[in-house]
A and B are shown apart, each in its own frame.
Chain A
Amino acid sequence: ETGVTQTPRHLVMGMTNKKSLKCEQHLGHNAMYWYKQSAKKPLELMFVYNFKEQTENNSVPSRFSPECPNSSHLFLHLHTLQPEDSALYLCASSQYIGLGTGELFFGEGSRLTVL
């Protein structure tokens, strides 16, 4: 139990569907992250939020839309995805962002399959 909870754990959706991934952290952290993990590729940072403000959008297509209503919750809204978007989506949190605060606490991920 890492203190970061992601739902759903598995999601199958068609290319025209709209769905959302949810992440909640119970660690009192101020920064939250979305990462994409595809087979045989490094973890790809997608978005960073610090004190609810987005500080990083790593050139992510607009069909992925993040939302951070407060420091404990992070959403990833999905719309008109492509099959190549199938991957494990990992949420993480940390006390702060920046050097020296590198310990990210990850959730167990949401396995997304786009048909």
Chain B
Amino acid sequence: GESVGLHLPTLSVQEGDNSIINCAYSNSASDYFIWYKQESGKGPQFIIDIRSNMDKRQGQRVTVLLNKTVKHLSLQIAATQPGDSAVYFCADYFGNEKLTFGTGTRLTIIP
């Protein structure tokens, strides 16, 4: 079946460095992607989204890149801070009403 959010399970980054979290998806018809952040003891929180007609979108300290050729999505976090420690999920829509989530990457910031 189709899948999304094939993540590396963990990533450790030095505080102040940039983080890149990757996500692969299998459905070439996916047309809208979202990144969520889930801190310990909390629900997922929307970070940024991107449509399939774009290849890059920037937010505050975050950038999402979409490569439809290889079906790959990445979230870049600039100058990581301790508060960035969380699990990050990508999710996609492919024409229906449901978001499909991946398993997530746990980002740990090393002081």
Contacts and interface: CB of A to CB of B under 8 A. Distances in A.
Nearest to A43: B101
A108 B42 contact: yes
Contacts of A53: none
Given A102-B93, A103-B34, A103-B49, A45 B98 contact: yes
Interface residues of A, number: 25
A19 B98 CA distance: 27
Interface residues of B, number: 24
Interface string A94-114: 000111101111111100000
A55 interface: yes
Contacts, number: 57
A26 B102 CA distance: 28
A16 to B, nearest CB: 29
A108 B32 CA distance: 25
Contacts of B102: 42
A4 B32 contact: no
Contacts of B89: 42-43
A108 B49 contact: no
B103 A41 contact: yes
B97 A109 contact: no
A110 to B, nearest CB: 10
A41 B42 CA distance: 17
Interface string A51-70: 00001101000000000000
Contacts of B42: 108-109
A90 B42 CA distance: 10
A100 B93 CA distance: 9
B31 interface: yes
Contacts of B34: 102-103
Contact of A104 (B31, B41, B99): B99
Nearest to B93: A99
Interface of B: 5, 9, 31-32, 34, 41-46, 49, 89, 91, 93, 95, 97-104
Q: Which 8 A-B pairs have the closest CB atoms?
A: A106-B43, A43-B101, A42-B101, A97-B97, A103-B46, A102-B34, A106-B44, A108-B43
